Amino acid sequence: MNKGRDTFFLQITRLAALSIVFIIIVMAHELFRGSELAFSRFGLGFLTGSEWDPVHGKFGSWPLIYGTLVSSLVALALAVPLSLGVAIFLAELAPPWLREPLSFLVELLAAIPSVVYGLWGLFVLVPWLRDVVQPLLGKTLGFLPLFQGPPLGVGMLAAGMVLAIMILPIITAVSREVLLAVPQSQREAMLALGATRWETIRRAVLPYGRSGIIGAIILGLGRALGETMAVTMVIGNRPQVSASLFDLGQTIASVIANEFSEGFDELHLSALIASALLLFIITFSVNIIARLLVWKVSISQGVSRD
Amino acid sequence: MSVKIKVENLNAWYGRNQVLKDINLEIEANKVTAIIGPSGCGKSTFIRCLNRLHEVVPGARVRGHVWVDGQDLYAPGVDPTEVRHRIGMVFQKPNPFPTMSIFENVAVGVRIHGLKPGVKLEEIVERSLRMAALWEEVSDRLYTSGVSLSGGQQQRLCIARALAVEPEVLLLDEPCASLDPISTLKIEDLLVELKKNYTIVIVTHNMQQAARVSDYTAFLLDGELVEYGPTPEIFTRPRDKRTEDYITGRFG
Ligand SMILES: Nc1ncnc2c1ncn2[C@@H]1O[C@H](COP(=O)(O)OP(=O)(O)O)[C@@H](O)[C@H]1O
Ligand SMILES: [Mg+2]
């Protein structure tokens, strides 16, 4: 009787596990099948073509790939220093009574729906960028191609900043875990040499957690690459390749969200599915790299933990 | 004969738990002083009070005085990092920095405190490794990871790392606890060699080791100093019944 029930549950859970694999295979299959038309029409030009023009049936996804990568890199450039600062404070420096409430606040940021970030970006961040930040950047750093052009507010910079706030929680939370897992014996070894607290963090704690922190950053990158709603609301939705962060742009995720309901000509649809496949491949590889790094760290800590 | 460290009314706590009670003793310069006693009696806590490392544990507290060359380490305004620079420490489990090479493990302390003018980092590293009796074994692979070494070599690397910043006192907390007998003997020989230039305080669980390497022995029990004196006396004519019971293996 008992044994029969056990086998029953075993079968059920096994089925559940298998269904995950099944879903992934079906999805990948559908993406490949759906993108066939676009790839057979444009070949490699689908990746390198710089014109995405549904009206004239031209589909080169380079501006989308570019927009996806650049907005995510801007997000990383802003979020990584901030997240690491918060993580170091939480794990190493904050007084115990402050740790829990602060960690909770950071995790709360992760719970805010992305459309809310989008609204906030549109109504708070964009005007501020347009009226204050971009004029200032233009005046001081305007000699760099990055900061040239009229201050529009919306655009690549706005997208990068909204993304930065959205990936802050994951990078902070994972880095904090990594830092907390650094054995106390490593800190004491450095302190015993006469190092200050900051030197101990810089020379013992951070190097020890290095690959875990890289994993955290890549997890954040994975999240930024695939984010759709908030980016669509602030990036300007113009598929173009421009060196300036003040310019409008477009990402793969937001082009799909924007254009899926537009017309239904077969080639357009196939091009959208093909860009979905690209995004799938990019985020999938980024996540695998991140998992491997975090996994490597937890393994090595398993042996040498004190 | 000169006193290097004078411990006066030293008390230490973890939270509300008092683990050292009114310790008073004087440690001679250029001698090896052994701290013995059963597990949990406060040996580690005691030597961690000598380089102000006890206070890095959350909730840990110290009261009392530790005079080193007449300066009280616990006087207000004394910088604990300066204290730890002067008083080196080697821990029970070898803890080299795993992301650093052998060379860098030894050099890192020097990098923190800055190189004296006219001295080469390479020279300091070589000299420290020689003093730790490790140079011959690693000179051809200085740039490989410190954790690729055996346990005994790692512990000598930690000794070299401590020596590189030129401390006056070397504290060792059961440095051979996780080592094989041959590595243990190497480290014991090393201590006898090192006491020419350093004052050494070693915690040990191992009575034979205390008898072999130390000039003075202190016996701690439940956070109290039961007996302290020249090692031969402690081991042959203990004055306290509890010391005698401990060294004859009747408890602990
Ligand atoms: N980090 C700590 N937090 C709380 N109590 C501790 C800590 N370390 C040691 N203790 C307690 O202090 C007492 C003395 O410990 P310790 O100095 O490590 O003894 P020994 O080195 O002689 O074995 C023990 O009762 C131990 O449980
Ligand atoms: Mg101990």
Is A25 in a helix, a strand, or coil? Answer: helix
Q: Is residue B74 part of a domain?
A: yes
Instruction: Tell me the ipTM for this assembly.
Output: 0.94
Q: Which of A96, A191, A306 sits opposite B53 (nearest CB)?
A: A191
What's the pLDDT at A272?
A: 93
Q: Is residue B75 part of a domain?
A: yes
Alpha-carbon separation of residue A113 from A110, A170, A234, B21, B105 (angstroms)? 8, 14, 15, 57, 47
The string of pLDDT tens digits covering residues A99-110 is 889 999 988 888
Q: Residue A299 pLDDT > 80, yes or no?
A: no
The string of pLDDT tens digits covering residues A22-61 is 998 999 999 999 999 999 999 889 999 889 988 888 899 9
Domain holding B198: CATH number? 3.40.50.300
Domain holding A43: CATH number? 1.10.3720.10
Q: Which of B56, B99, B161 sits opposite A188 (nearest CB)?
A: B56
Q: Residue A196 pLDDT > 90, yes or no?
A: yes
Structurally, chain B folds into a number of domains equal to 1
Q: Is residue B191 part of a domain?
A: yes
Q: Residue A293 pLDDT > 90, yes or no?
A: no
The string of pLDDT tens digits covering residues B66-115 is 999 999 999 999 999 999 999 999 999 999 999 999 999 999 999 999 98
Which domain does B46 fall in, by range?
A: 3-94+169-247
Q: Is residue B238 part of a domain?
A: yes
Q: Which residues of B touch A302 (CB under 8 A)?
A: none
Structurally, chain A folds into a number of domains equal to 1
Q: What's the CA-to-centroid distance between A164 and ligand 1, angstroms?
A: 44
Tokens 């008898």 locate to B211
Residue among B10, B13, B14 whose CB has most ligand 1 atoms within 8 A, to mutate? B14
Distance of alpha carbon B74 from alpha carbon B66, whole angstroms: 7
Q: Atom 25, ligand 1: which residue's CA is nearest?
A: B40
Q: How many other C-beta atoms can be found within 10 angstroms of the C-beta atom of residue A167?
A: 29
Q: Is residue B133 part of a domain?
A: no
Both structure tokens of A305: 């933990």
Q: Residue A306 pLDDT > 60, yes or no?
A: no
Q: Is residue B25 part of a domain?
A: yes
Compute the average pLDDT of residues A246-269. 88
Interface test with A, best of B47, B55, B81, B87 (most A CBs within 10 A): B81
The string of pLDDT tens digits covering residues A147-161 is 988 888 899 999 999
| Residue ranges for chain B with pLDDT beneath 50 | none
Which domain does A14 fall in, by range?
A: 2-305
Q: Is residue B32 part of a domain?
A: yes
Q: Residue A300 pLDDT > 80, yes or no?
A: no
pTM of the model: 0.86
Q: Is residue B102 part of a domain?
A: no
Distance of alpha carbon A281 from alpha carbon A87, whole angstroms: 30
Cα end-to-end distance, chain B, whole Å: 33
Q: Residue A305 pLDDT > 60, yes or no?
A: no
